[in-house]
Chains A and B, each alone.
Chain A
Amino acid sequence: MILDTRRYVIGACIILVGLALLGRLFYLQVIDNSYKRSADNISQRPVTQYPARGLIFDRHGQQLVNNQAAYDLMVIPRNIQPFDTVELAGILGMSVGEIKETVGKLKQGRGKNYASYRPVLFLKQMSAETYAVLQERLYKYPGFFVHARTLRRYVHPIASHLLGYVAEVDSLDIKEDRYYRTGDYIGKSGVERFYETELRGKKGVNVYLVDVRNSIVGSFRGGELDTMSVVGSDLTLTVDAGLQEYAEHLMSKFIGAVVAIEPSTGEILAMVSAPDYDPSLLVGRVRSENFRKLENDPSKPLFDRSVMASYPPGSTFKVAQGLVALQQGSLTPDTYYGCAGGYHVGRFHMGCHHHPSPLNLVQAIGNSCNSYFANVFRNIVDNRQTGAARENYLQWRKYIMSFGFGKKLGIDLPQERIGNVPSAEYYDRKYFPTPASWKSLTLVSLSIGQGEMGSTVVQMANFASLIANGGYYYTPHLLKKINGRDTVPAQYAQRRYTEVDTSWFQFVREGMYLAVTGGTARGVAIAGIEMCGKTGTAQNPHGEDNSTFMAYAPRENPRIAVAVYIENAGFGATWAAPVASLMIEKYLTGKTNRPWLEDRMLNFNRYDNRAAAN
């Protein structure tokens, strides 16, 4: 019967359908990989374990920065159920409207994709108090949970610029380093930035298996993918918290900067940029608002004047001229130049203050004679024995840069800038139609640290430090120890000589000693301490002269070198010198005995001062 053959049709159908199922299964399971990713996305919840950030100590082991707990309120949009918005608003200090709006937004995204399974930040950085209240009632708010984070806490309101601040990563940070994820914190400036990798430690992750309600079922593959977090390394800085605080106190009325260095190591003892701000202002939920305020402040408190500002060094630079000239041979320690109340060549006039005349190098440094160093500088540039003016200038520039000017010293701060020692090409363009017509007189304002010359305050302090050492320096740095061990990088332990022979330094040292004992800075001599210093009063086209002073002490085996720079204050001897003097006294003796001098510094008023000068 013909119907019997239909068994084969039925059998064929069974096989064909089976093959269709097998083909489809093979495609789904073996060829198409997208389902594996989807499965991972849905069923894994990686929970990042944030390590505590490393602590920061001063050179004596005093804590400068530690951590405080903060609590992020997270929510899984999918799991939100209707709740008492009024009560939650009360606990969190938000308005009911805000809460409803946020929840509404989160719920709208629901169902679009699997992201609604993922925890979303609801409110960041709740205080411990808020958290304590919320925790008891958290069960009333399905879908919400709390994620503990750590924030910075500053023990003293000091050293804001050198410490820097920590903030949430931005898109650029994430792009640069794939370690970071949205919501992570990163050091944005200062030591926090420079030693970010040491301080941050290493994030860990626990991968959990979650079920359809997004509650944790267990660890994923028995914790196979989990990694431990590693606590950040603690840093010990070279900074002396006491000296730092005192310097900031003295500078509280000024705009300017102070840097103090231990010459024998290059360790920075204090580093002040005034005005400064309390670093606690840039922590937590108040950060963005305070940051905006500081950014808009016309006195630019966020600008680190100690390593970023390029100031004309003024008369302190004369010491450098003397050293270069001695080395070059255009000057001997016994060369005398006269001064008739200024330096006059044809129609060129450079004024000088009243002092005995003629003077040798030591006396000229002690009395800060402009004419003397105009002569010295012109002789350097016009020295026929060493070459044409342009070559001599290049030679001069090389010497100056060997003192650390016009380049980054390599300090461990991300914001360091180079200052400015003008290049020969710059003058080729600016003054000289042809290189052949180079003239020393055109550049003569460089002789007294004016004109285009720009130096950062840390470069000035480093210069003081290398004079104190008698001809070499260590790169100034802030790092002393990592995790309590002396693991300071080799570049900070290396003695760096200048292009000037160490034998020439005794003369300028003597000059700087004279300045304090019987010269321009005699008013700030410290009883019982042999200090060497050099004042500077840099003209400022925008207002009152800048007041500057560099010094070191004691004269033999110096323990501290300081540079002070104060904008628009007036004479170096009047304002910058006392600050340096008081700091040195404080550092070397542990106390100061000149309350009147401190008072004078603290009673400075920029606006009065400007009126008086005019």
Chain B
Amino acid sequence: MQRQINSINGIDWLTVILYALMVLMGWLNIYATVADEQNAGVFSLSQRYGKQLVWIVTAIGLAVLVCLLDPRFYSSFAYPVYVFCMFVLIAVLVVGKEVNGARSWFDIGSVRLQPSEFAKVAVSLALAKYLGNYSGKLMQFKNLILVGIIIFLPPVFIILQPDTGSSLVYLAFLIVLYREGLPQEILLFGLLTVVLFILSLLMQNVQAYLAGGLILLGFTVYYLKSRQIKNVLKGLGVFMLIFSILFTVNFLAEIGFDIHEILLGAALTASVIFVAYSIVRRLPNIRTIILFILCALVFTFSVDFVFTKMLGSHQQKRIQVMLGIESDPLGIEYNVDQSKIAIGSGGLTGKGYLQGTQVRGKFIPEQSTDFIFCTIGEEWGFAGTAVTVILFIVLLLRLVYIAERQRSVFGRVYSYCVVSILFFHYAINIGMTIDLVPVIGIPLPFFSYGGSSLWAFTVLLFIMLRLDASRNEYIR
């Protein structure tokens, strides 16, 4: 009993207040989105604002429940919860209800639940549990593999639904891993991968330029590290020689390769020679650089394959539209256009509550769920959107602060999971409504209509607050 009172006192009330503000703002905007002139009462369960009210009340109940449980429960039951969640994700593929082409939902009476939302909580608990037990040894091979499985097993099931948007959220766990010791190079490599992916789609003959550019970069890096100008000049000579030979042969024999292909061929041939040379002369620096170059080249070649074979046509389209390769005003671009028009027309102070013409005209698809930010933007203007963004920034920074004051690795890892998930959801959701990132259908935490996401985010957040409240106790 004593402990529970301590727990309640230990709850981070600033976070609770921010949470409450966001949920309230979310509901007001859902009301504005759905309400029309012949609407029923505020509590009408036939309307989304009425239903959301029920979700909010039950979410508060859940939050209280989460806070009442012993913090050790979350640690102890992390794996069983994770396993249960995986079963549910498999079950939904079999017996789930198909909505908009994705089998992501369970119909339980009049309530519809989306297990992929709750899977984030399970992954966070399991990840915290695992890293808490093997503290500080993340970079061991076995640990990395297991962490990878814990994080990326759910998105595999979710992609199968198929719901790519929800599965992309799991990339956010990279932030947690970064905090827990993942080398920066790997994250940079990941970032470079994304840049290369986009470049490969945007540019013709990107491999040739890339090969040439990377070889020069490689020489530069090698020189900076070894200070051996002789080897650099030798290498450049070899590269130029191969290029000249290939060029001449191609020209004289009229084989018909174009200059890009010759450049690429020369780069590849030179690379092989350099690798052989580095092995013979025991120069590990060169080896690393060359291997990196070869990986990049292979990757750009594989982009086409990945893009056309592994992504669904609507995902291809979204990426193409986003990159400006294709125009599709009534398809994907229509959503983004309507969204930008709604937000952009809000001006500095907005059109006034319940006065949004675009919102009332239902021009934006999914405007009470994934595009709820449009309502804020149109009716409250920049004032409203800025307040929203700032609320999220404050919340996230507060959560980082809380995460860092945890004494247990379990608590810290779990807290960073919460930070990562919320950060990813908020940044991508708002980014897609204003055409900064491709449209992937994920909700804005605490704002968007929907019971599953509100429940999941509430549970996710309040477990963290519960752990924080008793951070002085030892939990593992």
Measured between alpha carbons, how far is A7 from B181 in the docked complex, in Å?
12
By a beta-carbon cutoff of 8 Å, the part of chain A in contact with chain B is 3-4, 6-7, 9-11, 14-15, 17-18, 20-22, 24-26, 28-30, 32, 34-36, 38-40, 42-44, 111, 209-212, 217-218, 220-221
CB contact under 8 A between A212 and B341, given known A7-B400, A22-B386, A24-B436 = no
Would you call A29 and B344 a contact (CB within 8 A)?
A: yes
Specify the chain A residue showing the minimal Cβ separation from B344: A35
The smallest beta-carbon distance between B136 and chain A, in angstroms, is 9
Would you call A25 and B382 a contact (CB within 8 A)?
A: yes
The smallest beta-carbon distance between A208 and chain B, in angstroms, is 11
What residues of chain A lie closer than 8 Å to B400, measured between beta carbons? Answer: 7, 10-11, 14
Would you call A29 and B361 a contact (CB within 8 A)?
A: no
Complex partner residue of A210 from B36, B346, B361, B378, CB under 8 angstroms: B361
CB contact under 8 A between A209 and B427, given known A10-B179, A111-B329 = no
Would you call A29 and B363 a contact (CB within 8 A)?
A: no
CB contact under 8 A between A21 and B357, given known A30-B348, A35-B341 = no
Specify the chain A residue showing the minimal Cβ separation from B348: A30
Specify the chain B residue showing the minimal Cβ separation from A112: B329
Closest 7 CB pairs of A and B: A35-B344, A39-B345, A43-B357, A211-B361, A18-B393, A29-B382, A28-B344
Would you call B361 and A18 a contact (CB within 8 A)?
A: no
What are 13 residue pairs bridging A and B, where the CB atoms are less than 8 Å apart in the complex? A7-B404, A10-B419, A17-B427, A18-B393, A21-B431, A26-B382, A28-B344, A29-B347, A38-B344, A43-B363, A209-B360, A212-B361, A217-B361
Measured between alpha carbons, how far is A299 from B362 in the docked complex, in Å?
61
What residues of chain A lie closer than 8 Å to B329, measured between beta carbons? Answer: 111
Would you call B404 and A29 a contact (CB within 8 A)?
A: no
| Residue in B344, B397, B427 with the greatest tally of chain A CB atoms within 10 Å | B344
Measured between alpha carbons, how far is A17 from B436 in the docked complex, in Å?
11
Would you call A111 and B330 a contact (CB within 8 A)?
A: yes
| Residue in A29, A40, A42, A209 with the greatest tally of chain B CB atoms within 10 Å | A29
Would you call A39 and B347 a contact (CB within 8 A)?
A: no
Measured between alpha carbons, how far is A169 from B386 in the docked complex, in Å?
49
CB contact under 8 A between A21 and B430, given known A6-B178, A29-B385, A34-B344 = yes
Interface of B is mostly: helix
Report the tally of A-B residue pairs with Cβ distances under 8 A: 123
Measured between alpha carbons, how far is A9 from B36 in the docked complex, in Å?
46
What residues of chain B lie closer than 8 Å to A209, measured between beta carbons? Answer: 357, 360-361
B243 touches A (CB below 8 Å): no
Would you call A25 and B377 a contact (CB within 8 A)?
A: yes
CB contact under 8 A between A212 and B362, given known A21-B430, A36-B344, A39-B342 = yes
Would you call B360 and A211 a contact (CB within 8 A)?
A: yes
Complex partner residue of B389 from A9, A21, A210, CB under 8 angstroms: A21
Measured between alpha carbons, how far is A471 from B358 in the docked complex, in Å?
72
The smallest beta-carbon distance between B343 and chain A, in angstroms, is 6
What residues of chain B lie closer than 8 Å to A4, measured between beta carbons? Answer: 404
Interface mask (B318-333 → A, CB under 8 Å = 1, otherwise 0): 0000000000011000
In this complex, how many residues of chain B approach chain A with their Cβ under 8 Å: the count is: 48
Q: A29-B377, A211-B361 are in contact. List 7 more A-B contacts (CB 8 A).
A: A17-B423, A25-B382, A35-B341, A35-B344, A35-B345, A211-B360, A211-B362
CB under 8 Å from chain A, chain B span 386-401: 386, 389-390, 392-393, 396-397, 400
CB contact under 8 A between A44 and B396, given known A22-B386, A30-B347, A111-B329 = no
B381 touches A (CB below 8 Å): yes
Complex partner residue of A35 from B340, B362, B390, CB under 8 angstroms: B340
B175 touches A (CB below 8 Å): yes
B258 touches A (CB below 8 Å): no
What residues of chain B lie closer than 8 Å to A210, measured between beta carbons? Answer: 361
What residues of chain B lie closer than 8 Å to A42, measured between beta carbons? Answer: 341, 358, 361, 363
Would you call B392 and A29 a contact (CB within 8 A)?
A: no
Would you call B436 and A21 a contact (CB within 8 A)?
A: yes
Would you call A24 and B180 a contact (CB within 8 A)?
A: no
Specify the chain A residue showing the minimal Cβ separation from B382: A29
What residues of chain B lie closer than 8 Å to A7, measured between beta carbons? Answer: 179, 400, 403-404
Would you call B345 and A36 a contact (CB within 8 A)?
A: yes
Specify the chain A residue showing the minimal Cβ separation from B350: A29
Would you call A3 and B181 a contact (CB within 8 A)?
A: yes
What residues of chain B lie closer than 8 Å to A34, measured between beta carbons? Answer: 344
Measured between alpha carbons, how far is A304 from B342 in the docked complex, in Å?
57
Would you call A218 and B37 a contact (CB within 8 A)?
A: yes
What residues of chain A lie closer than 8 Å to B434, measured between beta carbons? Answer: 21, 24-25, 28
What residues of chain B lie closer than 8 Å to A14, measured between beta carbons? Answer: 393, 396-397, 400, 423
Interface mask (B432-443 → A, CB under 8 Å = 1, otherwise 0): 001010000000
Specify the chain B residue showing the minimal Cβ separation from A110: B330
Specify the chain A residue showing the minimal Cβ separation from B396: A14
What residues of chain B lie closer than 8 Å to A24, measured between beta carbons? Answer: 434, 436
Interface mask (B420-431 → A, CB under 8 Å = 1, otherwise 0): 000100010011
The smallest beta-carbon distance between A408 and chain B, in angstroms, is 53
Measured between alpha carbons, how far is A210 from B363 in the docked complex, in Å?
10
Measured between alpha carbons, how far is A498 from B436 in the docked complex, in Å?
82
Would you call A25 and B385 a contact (CB within 8 A)?
A: yes
Measured between alpha carbons, how far is A324 from B10 in the docked complex, in Å?
117
Would you call A39 and B357 a contact (CB within 8 A)?
A: yes
Complex partner residue of B360 from A29, A30, A111, A217, CB under 8 angstroms: A217
Interface mask (B172-194 → A, CB under 8 Å = 1, otherwise 0): 00010011110000000000000
CB under 8 Å from chain A, chain B span 330-371: 330, 340-348, 355, 357-358, 360-363
Measured between alpha carbons, how far is A25 from B376 in the docked complex, in Å?
12
What residues of chain A lie closer than 8 Å to B381, measured between beta carbons? Answer: 29
What residues of chain A lie closer than 8 Å to B385, measured between beta carbons? Answer: 25, 29
Would you call B393 and A212 a contact (CB within 8 A)?
A: no
Would you call B36 and A29 a contact (CB within 8 A)?
A: no
Would you call A28 and B342 a contact (CB within 8 A)?
A: no
What residues of chain A lie closer than 8 Å to B363, measured between beta carbons? Answer: 42-43, 211-212
Specify the chain A residue showing the minimal Cβ separation from B363: A212
Complex partner residue of A10 from B175, B340, B342, B355, CB under 8 angstroms: B175
